[in-house]
Amino acid sequence: MIDMASQHPNKIIPARIKAAKLLAKTFNTLDIQYLNNLLTEDIELDGDQACDLASGITATLSSIEKTINKIGSHHRPFSAEVARLQYQPRKYHIGISFEMDGAILFFISLETNKNGLIKSLYVHHAELFIDGPELTGDRPGFNLAKYESDKECLWAIRKETAKNLSVNNRPHFVAVIHESQDPERILLALDELTKNFDGSTCELLISSFYHVSNSGVQGELINYKSSADKALEEMGSAGYPTLGVMLGDECIRPGYRPWDPDAVISDLKRMGIPKNNQLKEHIVSVK
């Protein structure tokens, strides 16, 4: 690969690109320190979902830190890359594209002030893209060796789990969407998947804008997690929509995004899960 910087030693890098590089480095290293002194006092964080909202340096850093901590807890291969996202003909958002386990989850666009500090961030979730981001290949802080190691380790765990479970366990497909999203696409995917695995089952869970809560004996507010939120945690998903595959009590393949039935079927076959149920059920009638 040609080192473009060496070809143009005096080339000026735009402030937004510099900021995007540091934002990508923050995600690739899971280290919030790269954003220190990079945000304006009145920075605004916004996005496609209500949970993306934050105002000011402290709240914004806290929100981003929660996100990268959640990413790290999944122990799945990921990367952040400087990219641009088209929103009108020949007009683009500049920012970073984030992918996990081979699928783009979100794009974060940014705006800088005249001093090169980030004054706004916006989280675009992948399910709302018309076209995917244009990638640059620039992934500051990315560790390829760790990425490949995580990927191989993940596949080994999945294959071992599937191997240890009885062949009579059939896949149970669990999909989670947000109430603002159209369920038609995932319903078609679930239908296709259940047709391909004898004895398989599926369910669609819908997460709501409004959390269920109540007051305890002492008057404190108690929030209850919905089945959709619990499924998201169990499947290690970074957001909506997502599709997981359960074998018995084990989630063997969490967080498919996007939900391409052919890819899911291929993965399950690779893990050694047969499409046909080898043990047919027998109905015994007692007179």
Report the pLDDT value the prediction gives residue 3, as an integer from 0 to 100. 46
Whether 148 is in a domain gets the answer no
The pTM of the full predicted model, rounded to 2 decimals, is 0.74
Asked if 198 and 277 count as a contact pair (C-beta separation under 8 A), the reply is: yes
Do 50 and 88 sit in the same domain of this protein?
yes
pLDDT at res. 2: 39
Amino acid identity, position 226? S
Tokens of 128: 């709302």
Let me know whether 176 and 253 are in one domain: yes
In a domain, 234, yes or no: yes
- Shared-domain flag, residues 40 and 96: yes
Q: Which residues of the chain have pLDDT under 50?
A: 1-6, 282-284, 287
- 72 within a domain of the structure (yes/no): yes
Q: At what angle do helices 15-29 and 57-74 cross, to 10 degrees?
A: 50
Residues 201 and 83 both lie in one domain: no
Do strands 250-256 and 242-247 pair parallel, antiparallel, or not at all (unpaired)? antiparallel
Q: At what angle do helices 184-196 and 261-270 cross, to 10 degrees?
A: 40
| Residue type (1 letter), 171 | P
Instruction: Look at residue 106 and tell me if it is in a domain.
Output: yes
On whether residue 226 sits in a domain, the answer given is: yes
Same domain, 224 and 264: yes
Task: Tell me the CATH number at 260.
Answer: 3.40.30.10
Q: In whole angstroms, give the CA distance from residue 207 to residue 225.
A: 10
| Residues 6 or more apart whose Cβ sits within 8 Å of residue 269 | 275
Supply the range of the domain harboring residue 262. 166-270
What's the pLDDT at 287? 47
Domain of residue 127, CATH code: 3.10.450.50
Q: Kindly state the tokens that stand for 38.
A: 């990079």
Please check whether residues 189 and 115 belong to one and the same domain.
no
Considering the domain architecture, whether residues 85 and 135 belong to the same structural domain is answered as: yes
Residue 149 domain-assigned (yes or no): no
Q: Is the peptide bond before 133 cis (omega within 30 degrees of 0)?
A: no
Examine the domain organization and report whether 88 and 129 are in the same domain: yes
**Is 232 within the bounds of a domain?**
yes
Q: Burial level of 175, CB count in 10 A (0-12/13-18/19+)?
A: buried
109 and 191 together in one domain: no
How buried is 137 (Cβ within 10 angstroms: 0-12 exposed, 13-18 middle, 19+ buried)? exposed
**Structurally, how many domains does the chain consist of?**
2
- The tens digit of pLDDT for each residue in 33-91 reads 999 999 999 999 999 877 789 999 999 999 999 999 988 888 889 999 999 999 888 88
| Shared domain check, 124 and 170 | no
Residue 159 lies in a domain: no
**Tokens 């947000």 belong to which residue?**
178
Same domain for 245 and 209: yes
Are residues 117 and 205 part of one domain? no
